[in-house]
Amino acid sequence: MNDALSQQGPVSGEAGTRGSWGSSFGFIMAAAGSAVGLGNIWGFPMQVGKGGGAIFVLLYLCCVVFICFPILVAELALGRASGRDPIGAFQVTSPATPWWLVGALGVTAGVGILSFYCVIAGWTLAYIWYSLSGAAGQNPPAFFGAFVADGGKNVFLSFVVLAITAGIILGGVREGIEKASKLMMPALFAILILLGVRALFLPGAAEGLVYYLKPDLREIANISVLNAALGQAFFSLSLGMGAIITYGSYLSKKTNAVGSAAWVAGLDTMVALLAGFVVFPVGFSISGFNPAEGGPGLIFAVLPSLFSSMPGGALFGAAFFVLLSLAALTSAISLLEVPTASLVDRGWRRGKAVLLMTALVAAIAVPSALSQGAVPWLAKVPGTGMDFLSLMAVVWNNWALPIGGLFISIFVGWVWGADKALAELAPEGKIFPGARLWVFLIRYVCPLAILFVIVMTARGMFAG
């Protein structure tokens, strides 16, 4: 096979990309740093609102447990066994077949996702200031609407986010980021719990909780809600595009991969659920609140009114948005790292690879940044009824990631082989508890369930 490729082991390190995690805890924090981000705190409540409340939560949890968790384990096994970037992982385990295209789809998805992710991270950054100044708290929805309609500001902010992300990847201060995320993640968790407790005492909180926790089971067969839940689960866990393959390639053979995966999935899910416990009680305490209409601005329209109701709220709000910005940054890094690594593993210089990918992402970010009111046709892309940013989110989250996950599950379950994955996951011959169930899920449940959702969604779209 390709010699240049096969020379790069998991610890060749010379380009500054390869290395290995110091400990299981370090890995869990880094993978959780990639997983926990805007998807949990911005995306999850928004999707719950669009999906009709508790029914979405229920479907989401099912997707996490039965589809995404097995794929998380599969990506880790594939990454660790191959010690490669997503394209290389397929090339090594299945030489001279077109399976590497799945890796290539993942690399493309990384670029596509980051292009809208950086816009929202830009809003988060701006809201640190707007919370401190108090501007965000006076009539939050109107303020948010005016803010995002300012095209220049939004393009600028998203470029700032990209520049910081690229700078970190370029400088290779990954150590620092990892250390920081060990501190920031628990802090974010703590502040969310605090806000959640505060939110429970607001008038209207009970109504919010009912909406959030009591599913309307008549909606369970609503395929668009199921599609959104699946896409959201993939997005939140950073699955389906090889980010976890890449992180798995840095994983030492001694680490208990399945146990670590359980931690990552558990932490990620808890942060998302907590965000809902904050957003919905607060939302329903505001008169005229309609969760379905929140859209991308939901948390920005809702949370400032919580902060302005609290003593010391300006500082609280600023602290919250600082932590959210950092969570977004650790996720953005993992998004940019996949396309960068794919060029570096093909002989590119790291600096050049970062610059090219960042420039590409920046160019695609512009229409997203201008889609919230600055440019009318981007606010309602003809033929879709959606703004450009939301359209990007649907294309990548609801389609590209589940399709990537479909192929990964087929590949690991049948082509590379579940037995090889099991051997990789149990280096000392100690099969992990639930291994048989995992094989069943990865071979049958994951592919069939994802295929079902994709086909039914496509049918629904073309029928109506």
Q: For ligand TRP, which is the closer residue by CB, 51 or 313?
A: 51
Six-digit token string for 231: 């896409």
Q: Looking only at residues 143 through 202 of this chain, which bind ligand TRP when binding is defined by CB under 6 A?
A: none
Task: Give the nearest distance from C-beta 236 to ligand TRP in angstroms.
Answer: 4
Selection from 172, 177, 159, 185 nearest residue 35 by Cα: 185
Q: How far apart are the C-alpha atoms of 281 and 307, rounded to whole Å?
A: 13
Q: Is the Cβ of residue 38 or residue 202 nearer to ligand TRP in the bound state?
A: 38
Query: What is the smallest separation between the CB atom of 402 and ligand TRP, expressed in angstroms?
Result: 11
134 in the Ramachandran plot: left (φ > 0), alpha (ψ -120 to 50) or beta?
Answer: left
Q: Are 227 and 447 in contact (CB under 8 A)?
A: no
Q: Which residues of 369-401 are buried (b: 16+ CB within 10 A; e: fewer)?
A: bbbbbbbeebbebeeeebbbbbbbbbbbbbbbb
Structure tokens at 17: 């990309």
Judged by CB under 6 A, which of 17, 91, 238, 342 binds ligand TRP?
Answer: 238
Beta bridge partners, 381, equal: 386
How far apart CA 388 and CA 407 sit, in angstroms, is 27
Among 27, 32, 33, 34, binds ligand TRP (CB under 6 A): 34
Among 10, 37, 70, 402, binds ligand TRP (CB under 6 A): 37
Which member of 40, 154, 246, 358 binds ligand TRP (CB under 6 A)?
40
Considering the rule CB under 6 A, would residue 39 count as an interface residue with ligand TRP? yes
Which CB atom, from 244 or from 442, has the smaller least distance to ligand TRP? 244
Residues 6+ apart with CB under 8 A from 312: none
Stretch that binds ligand TRP, among 29-37, 130-138, 304-312, 386-394 (CB under 6 A): 29-37
Q: What does the buried/exposed string (b/e) look like for 243-265 if buried means 16 or more CB atoms within 10 Å of the residue's CB?
A: bbbbbbbbbeeebebbebbbbbb
**Cβ 277 to ligand TRP shortest distance, Å:** 17
Among the listed residues 241, 279, 324, 393, the single contact to ligand TRP using CB under 6 A: 241
Distance of CA 76 to the CA centre of its chain: 16
Where does this chain touch ligand TRP (CB under 6 A) — which range of 214-222, 232-240, 297-305, 439-447? 232-240
Please identify which residue in 102, 243, 393, 403 interacts with ligand TRP, judged by CB under 6 A.
243
Residue nearest to ligand TRP (CB): 39
* Residue 309 CB, nearest approach to ligand TRP (Å): 27
Q: Of 406, 378, 402, nearest to 392 (Cα)?
A: 378
Q: How far apart are CA 445 and CA 65, in angstroms?
A: 11
Could you say which DSSP state residue 16 is in?
A: S
232 sits near ligand TRP (criterion: CB under 6 A)? no
Does residue 249 belong to the site contacting ligand TRP (CB under 6 A)? no
Q: Dihedral sign, CA of 108, 369, 363, 367? A: positive
If the CB atoms of residues 37 and 283 are measured against ligand TRP, the closer one turns out to be: 37
Residue whose CB is less far from ligand TRP, 222 or 246:
246
Under rule CB under 6 A, residue 59 binds ligand TRP: no
Of residues 253 through 312, those in contact with ligand TRP by CB under 6 A are none
State how far the alpha carbon of 369 is from the alpha carbons of 54, 123, 151, 152, in Å.
Answer: 31, 10, 7, 9
CA 415 to CA 183: how far, in whole Å? 40
Q: Which of residues 100-129 bind ligand TRP (CB under 6 A)?
A: 113
- Of 39 and 51, CB closest to ligand TRP: 39
- Number of residues assigned to the chain: 464
Nearer to ligand TRP (CB atom), residue 87 or residue 379 = 87
Nearer to ligand TRP, 227 or 236 (CB): 236
Q: At what angle do helices 298-308 and 100-133 cross, to 10 degrees?
A: 30
Residues in the site for ligand TRP, rule: CB under 6 A? 34-35, 37-40, 113, 235-236, 238, 241, 243, 331, 334-335, 401
